[in-house]
């Protein structure tokens, strides 16, 4: 679906303009948003959309990576503006798709079939468009970086991908790993799984602690209303909620 593709695209995108001189490569100044970036923020009223995808997972958007690459304030600002433009396109595409889905349509089997065919065609076109926008944005960012910065970024991106590939063993199977290598890779996956389980347990415990503290803030009447309003079995299926 388009939405899934957009999320994946947001994870990968970066952006373009002319190459920026490598002055003050070590500076850690915050970027100054351009008028166009601020215009897009104002239009969508949402930094989570205006910033590249709410997209902290994209390496070039992470502060520690920007510092490692030695990005100038000007580079940071232009990369952010590229992200604004990219996500404005995705946001508009999503709103157009939602409007199409909500428009009145016939109820006959023929009309329903026609609508479904048109919707699939729009999905395919949306996927292609999102991929093209991602590619263009990526090339834009590459042009902003100095050659040594681009080499560094690609290595960081590779290591990010590698971390996810541990859960796609078929990728490594194509490399012709020896039995010893396979055992070592399995040990790494098992250790990672253990750490993730421990982290998940800590998160769940933190949520339970927060819930306990929240209960202490509410009055008995408020607590009772909250219980009733959040009980998924309070209203039998098929009956309207009050």
Domain ranges of the chain: 2-165, 179-230
Which one has a higher pLDDT value, 11 or 64? 64
d(CA 2, CA 120): 10
d(CA 10, CA 54): 9
Query: Does the pTM exceed 0.85?
Result: no
| CB 50, CB 41: distance < 8 Å | yes
What's the mean pLDDT in 201-227?
90
Query: If 0-12 CB within 10 Å is exposed, 13-18 middle and 19+ buried, where does residue 58 land?
Result: buried
End-to-end CA distance of the chain: 34
Which one has a higher pLDDT value, 74 or 49? 74
Per-residue model confidence as pLDDT tens digits over 110-157: 888 888 888 899 999 998 998 888 888 888 888 999 999 999 988 888
Q: What pairs with residue 141 in β-bridges?
A: 16
Residue 165 tokens read as 């590939």
Per-residue model confidence as pLDDT tens digits over 68-108: 999 999 998 888 888 888 888 888 888 888 888 888 777 78
Banded pLDDT at 34 (limits 50, 70, 90) = low
d(CA 135, CA 131): 6
Which one has a higher pLDDT value, 241 or 159? 159
Task: Give me the pLDDT at residue 205, please.
Answer: 94
Three-state SS string over the chain comes to CHHHHHHHHHHHCCCECCCCCCCCCCCCCCCCCCHHHHHHHHHHCCHHHHCHHHCCCCHHHCHHHHHHHCCCHHHHHHHHHHHHHHHHHHHHHHHHHHHHHHCCCCCCHHHHHHHHHHHHHHHHHHHHHHHHHHHHHHHHHHHHCCHHHHHHHHHHHHHHHHHHHCCCHHHHHCCCCCHHHHHHHHHHHHHHHHHHHHHHHHHHHHHHHHHHHHHHHCCHHHHHHHHHHHCCCCCCCCCCCC
Q: For residue 47, how many other CB atoms are within 10 A of its CB?
A: 10
Task: Give me the pLDDT at residue 239, please.
Answer: 60
Residue 137 tokens read as 């944005």
**Dihedral of alpha carbons 45, 50, 51, 54, sign:** positive
**Dihedral of alpha carbons 48, 53, 55, 57, sign:** positive
């Amino acid at each position: 679906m388009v939405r899934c593709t957009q999320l994946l695209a947001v994870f990968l995108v970066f952006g373009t303009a002319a190459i920026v001189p490598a002055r003050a490569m070590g500076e850690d100044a915050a970027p100054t948003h351009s008028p166009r970036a601020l215009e897009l923020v104002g239009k969508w009223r949402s930094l989570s959309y205006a910033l590249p995808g709410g997209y902290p997972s994209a390496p070039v958007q992470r502060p520690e990576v920007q510092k490692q690459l030695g990005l100038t304030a000007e580079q940071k600002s232009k990369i952010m503006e590229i992200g604004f433009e990219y996500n404005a396109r995705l946001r508009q595409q999503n709103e157009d798709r939602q409007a199409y889905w909500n428009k009145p349509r016939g109820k006959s089997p023929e009309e329903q079939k026609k609508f479904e065919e048109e919707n699939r065609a729009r999905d395919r076109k949306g996927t292609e468009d999102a991929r093209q926008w991602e590619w263009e944005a990526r090339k834009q960012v590459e042009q902003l970086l100095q050659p040594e910065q681009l080499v560094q970024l690609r290595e960081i991106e590779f290591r990010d991908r590698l971390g996810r590939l541990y859960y796609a063993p078929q990728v490594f199977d194509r490399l012709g790993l020896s039995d010893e290598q396979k055992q070592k890779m399995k040990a790494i996956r098992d250790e990672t799984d253990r750490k993730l389980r421990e982290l998940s347990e800590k998160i769940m415990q933190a949520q339970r602690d927060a819930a306990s503290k929240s209960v202490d803030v509410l009055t008995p009447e408020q607590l009772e209303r909250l219980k009733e309003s959040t009980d998924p079995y309070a209203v039998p299926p098929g009956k309207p909620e009050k």
